[in-house]
Structure 1
Amino acid sequence: MSTDPAAPFDPALPYTLAGSVSLRPEPFGALVYDYATRRLSFLKTPLLVNVVRELENHPDAASTLVAVDVPAADHDRYLHALAGLCESGTIALRTAS
């Protein structure tokens, strides 16, 4: 498995919240703060927050969407959001421990 941080998002791979990132729940979703970059961003829905939190508990990103009951019609939209979160460093490939 590639651990290259510049590798493109692949929904068949395991991901987790990046170690430098903290989520603060809010009614709209969550505030995302990256302590390494000092960047503040937002997750705009509670369901997306749940997906991001649950990534570490499932074998890959695609199965996480099923496990947290993301409607099948919305999978492409959520995978696109996860790709953006991967590109920004909010989520990262999970490595074997």
Structure 2
Amino acid sequence: MFDPDRPYCCSPSVALRPEQFGALAYHFGTRRLSFLKTPALVELVTTLDDHVDVHAALAASPIPQAQHGAYLAALGGLADAGTIEPR
């Protein structure tokens, strides 16, 4: 279960391929393909490892506070897919 009070990182089993809309994330273990639909989400996912928890990563990002809920929901989906994982 995704907990934004914990530290997360992009799974080492995931490759991100940049695209105009954001990125494709391919998980080599599950063979699952996920879409990161905005460049801001890609940047957030790739910098999660630099912060003590997800909330700190969001606070350090240029994502407006009003959109944090939507990004937390997106990160929850990525955690469920195995794209990101607890550190």
Q: TM-score, normalised by structure 2?
A: 0.96
Please identify the structure whose Cα radius of gyration is greater: 1
Q: Distance in 1 between matches of 2:62 and 2:10?
A: 19
Q: Distance in 1 between matches of 2:24 and 2:76?
A: 18
4+ residue runs over 2 A deviation: none
Aligned position for 2:55: 62
* Equivalent of 1:37 in 25, 30, 36: 30
Q: Distance in 2 between matches of 1:41 and 1:12?
A: 23
Aligned length: 87
Q: Distance in 2 between matches of 1:81 and 1:40?
A: 15
Please give the residue correspondences for 1:11-90 in structure 2 after superposition, counting only pairs within 5 Å: 11-90=4-83
Aligned CA-pair RMSD? 0.7
Aligned position for 2:85: 92
Q: Which runs of 5+ in 2 are unaligned?
A: none
Instruction: Determine if contact 2:32/2:81 at 8 Å carries over to the other structure.
Output: no
Q: TM-score, normalised by structure 1?
A: 0.86
AA of the residue aligned to 2:80: E
Percentage of matched positions with identical amino acids? 54
Q: Which runs of 5+ in 1 are unaligned?
A: 1-7
- Please list the CA deviations of residues 18-47 of structure 1 after superposition, one character each: whole Å capped at 9, or x if unmatched: 110010111100011111111122100000
